[in-house]
Amino acid sequence: MALKGGLFLPMYQRGAMWIRLDSNGQFAIKVIVGGVNVISGGPLVETSATQLRRLNLFLRNESVQDYVVTPDQLWLDGIASTEGRVRQFVAMPIGAGYTVEAQLTGEDISGGLQFEVTPARAPPKTLDSQHLIEELFIRTLTKVVHLTHLSASDTVAQLKKSESPASILRRELPRSYGGPNIPQAKELGIAAAGYIKQCILRDPNPADTWQRDRTICFNVQILNSAVFRHVTSMDPPETPISAATYASERLPFFDIYNEISDIKGSFEEVKSIKEMDKIKYAERRGHPREEDDEDEPKYKNPIVVLNSQGVKTGFRPVFELETELASMNAVPF
């Protein structure tokens, strides 16, 4: 877990998740689950097959966009399976064969989520805005709140090196967190559930809008409740109410109008958890074996040190991709 770095969050097995997106300025965000792009279905590292798929999409007048743009895209509910619909993000154990990564690559190695964030070019700052003093409230894991000050020109690296935040966090974290007695890590990956209506909004910006030399990436590991409790000494959040309870209380559902876009990925081979449950049950009934499907996988997963400080694939705006593909003068095949 420490080798992979990044952030972590607790989830329960078969718990659903959505990603809220909010920003003051424009950002292009690639969301990746276990090394698979949730918009395109392509691998984290581009291959010749990725380029060929992109060319075929372009020749069919379909979108080649593989990222979302904030603040216009308010949230993301799942993998972009069809036009105007996504399959909901759901947490499942790595090694059980349910995750999107396992179904598309045949392996469960990376797990969790990865994000690549590229900022838009901001207007020049005025002298006043550069020297504006802001108040920053820092809440530690022990729920102690501290106040520090910074200017709009300060960077995250400068904040980490400052006296108050880093020393506060070091002082407040009890030494009992983590340690050698941590239970066997049960990291979760992202699988696909049922369909939800959602549109992926097209990027309307020209290619030079984005500062590709400032792309950052980070990992988010998903831990089960037992590991989360041991690492943080805090109880994980309670499980959300069921759909039946929600309906019985006559709570409202919500909708938002969007023009249906053609942005979708290659997820034809990805089965939902319900479909995978049926397959697993048939396998057990037709081919009895001592090991249960929920046991540890027969192969040993290597530790993958994900790059948490640099660019993974290099961001390429959809406008640039379409211009490049048009210049090839290829014909459909």
Q: What is the DSSP letter of 305?
A: -
Question: So what's the pLDDT on residue 232?
Answer: 80
How many Å from the N-terminal Cα to the C-terminal Cα in the chain?
Answer: 45
What is the β-pairing status of strands 27-33 and 36-37? antiparallel
Q: How many residues are there in the chain?
A: 333
Q: How many CB atoms lie within 10 A of CB 166?
A: 12
Q: How far is CA 314 from CA 46, 68, 118, 281, in A?
A: 10, 15, 10, 42
CA dist 292 and 81 (Å) reads 30
**Helix, strand, coil percentages in the chain from 3-state DSSP, rounded to 5:** 25, 25, 50
Question: So what's the pLDDT on residue 120?
Answer: 93
Per-residue model confidence as pLDDT tens for the chain (333 residues):
666 677 888 888 888 889 999 898 999 999 999 889 999 988 887 778 888 888 988 888 888 999 999 999 989 999 998 888 899 999 998 888 899 999 988 888 888 899 999 999 876 655 454 555 566 666 666 666 666 766 666 666 666 666 554 444 444 444 444 445 555 556 789 999 888 888 899 999 999 999 998 999 888 988 888 888 887 888 888 877 777 777 777 777 666 666 677 788 888 888 888 888 888 888 877 754 344 444 434 433 333 444 444 445 678 888 888 888 888 877 666
**Long-range contacts of range 119-125, CB-CB < 8 Å, 24 or more positions apart?**
119/25, 119/26, 119/27, 119/210, 119/211, 119/214, 120/25, 120/26, 120/27, 120/28, 120/205, 120/209, 120/210, 120/211, 121/208, 121/209, 121/210, 121/211, 122/25, 125/152, 125/153
Exposure string (b/e) for 25-38, b if CB count within 10 Å is 16 or more?
Answer: ebbbbbbbbbbbbb
Question: So what's the pLDDT on residue 231?
Answer: 79
**Which two structure tokens, joined as six digits, stand for 306?**
């994900």
262, 281, 291, 247: which is closest to 84 by C-alpha?
262
